[in-house]
Structure 1
Amino acid sequence: MLKIPNDLSCYLNESGMGSALKIQPINGGYTNQVYLLETENRIKTFLKINTIGCQSVFIREADGLKALENVNGIRVPQIYGYGEDWLLMEFIEVSEPVESYWIDVGEGLAKIHLTTNEKFGFANDNFIGNNLQVNTWNTDGFKFFSEYRLGFQFELACQKGYIANDYCKLFDRLIFRLHDLIPVQPASLMHGDLWVGNLMCGPQGVPVFIDPAVYFGWAEADLAMTTLFGQFEEDAYNAYENVRPLTFGYRDRFDIYNLYHLLNHLNLFGVSYLTRVQNILDKYS
């Protein structure tokens, strides 16, 4: 059975939730251990336990969830409390989607992206999976994306020995061409890790975002990731565009944005993602 951290036990009692009564492991967490924790006052909570040894990971996740919650675009789990190695959140029961579910997803995401900032980045660095996500503020979206998204992950992949010299040249060529390939865009608030697994259907069929890697960046990059591992239904994109019109040809740019996440997966999980990285670099050579 999981040993409850002392500061979590104190929090449960001081908050009035009561001490932990039942702890049940939940499948699905590759970065952290996840549990359904029920207290003696019959309150169900979702507990994450840090397994990567980084003391700020849950603080940063909480910051991101609060940023999304403040926009009121799509529901996120309520944060109850957190420590260096634990994060306690609202436990959201999964339900069946209502007829307007994908429309609600698209409209809600568009509302989030309508929240903009003068600079790209975020108040703090955070995490994309186990890897650091650098969010140093920058007024230039192209510089931010090339250095702190693509460049950071590509350099890490080179250090791990995944990248051959020929592909270093292709990567440099892609970076050189970014201004021609991507239109100027504002710095929009983003979920940051928006694959279909980080969208769930909560009570009454309401969409819920989980596990963000929040920053201000190019909104098209969020949309791109919704097609990377599975895909949102078409109603979501149509509803999105009714709220926040998109620039012509935005889907043609998805591979460039998704290169960031494929490089991250290459660095997290190894060579099974290398061919997809190489294919994108070949495409823009």
Structure 2
Amino acid sequence: EPGGPGRPGFLLMEWIEEGRPGPGFWEAFGRGLAALHRHTGPRYGFDQDNFIGRLPQSNTWHDCWPAFFQAERLEPQVARARASGRWSHDWEAPLERLYARLDELLPSTPPPSVLHGDLWSGNALVAADGTAALIDPATYYGHRETDLAMTELFGGFEAGFYEAYREAWPLEPGYEARREVYNLYHLINHLNHFGSGYAGSVASVLRRFG
């Protein structure tokens, strides 16, 4: 029972009336996300665990970003894929090589930004007043590039969004490579949710970086 034994619970959610994007919507959205990312926490993680889709997401606090990304993002998803038989034995060696390279591939202590955590187009709405509204977060404090990477995994947003974000808060060199590493988490999550249709994408990232 949601409220505990003998205690009924309820879920209270805000209703968002949808509208249409007006001129400058994507640019305002990009600037707004950069402003959100300016809010930072003490470390990487969150005060409680949550969910990514229907699967648990671990948010144990870490002082080092690559250590957090390996222990709280990649390793739990890999463990689920192994347990379900969706993980290929051929991926083991490149995965270990990727783990060994994370300190080189990812920044050690980027600002721990508050993140949406699952920012694809289905979780971004246009509210009635024409502004962007984000739903279904998988929130934690982490490297802001993970949110941007996720927006590009399934087609991406309009170019004005990215231009405005980068104008508000430029990205460090090497983002394109880090984007692929960060999206490996979401690809394995989709492998766990939806099956072998994502196996080729997982294998491709592991071959590139491992």
Bin of the TM-score, shorter chain as denominator length = over 0.9
Q: 2:158 aligns with which of 212, 233, 253?
A: 233
Q: 2:31 aligns with which of 107, 132, 146?
A: 107
Deviation at 1:255, TM superposition (A): 1.1
> Is 2:114 the counterpart of 1:193?
no
Amino acid at match of 2:120: W
Q: Paired residue for 2:174?
A: 249
Deviation at 1:214, TM superposition (A): 0.2
Q: Residue by residue, what CA displacement relative to the aligned partner does 1:132-151 show, whole Å, maximum 9, x if unpaired?
A: 00001111111100110011
Q: 2:19 aligns with which of 70, 95, 105?
A: 95
Q: Please, which runs of 5 or more residues in structure 1 have no aligned partner?
A: 1-52, 57-82
Q: Distance in 2 between matches of 1:188 and 1:246?
A: 14
Q: Distance in 1 between matches of 2:35 and 2:107?
A: 21
Task: State the percentage of identical aligned residues.
Answer: 43
Amino acid at match of 2:192: N
Q: 1:182 aligns with which of 85, 101, 106?
A: 106
Larger Rg: 1
Q: 2:146 aligns with which of 215, 221, 225?
A: 221
Instruction: Indicate if the aligned counterparts of 1:146 and 1:175 stay in contact, CA closer than 8 A.
Output: yes
Q: Distance in 1 between matches of 2:40 and 2:196?
A: 36
The count of residues paired between Structure 1 and Structure 2 equals: 205
Determine which structure has the larger strand proportion and give its number.
1
Q: Paired residue for 1:19?
A: none
Amino acid at match of 2:98: L
Higher relative contact order, structure no. (Cα contacts within 8 Å, ≥ 6 residues apart): 2
Determine which structure has the larger helix proportion and give its number.
2
Q: Distance in 2 between matches of 1:173 and 1:192?
A: 25
> Is 2:77 the counterpart of 1:132?
no
Deviation at 1:92, TM superposition (A): 1.6
Tell me the SS of whatever aligns to 1:88.
Answer: coil
Deviation at 1:88, TM superposition (A): 2.7
Q: Distance in 2 between matches of 1:142 and 1:128?
A: 19
Tell me the SS of whatever aligns to 2:78.
Answer: helix
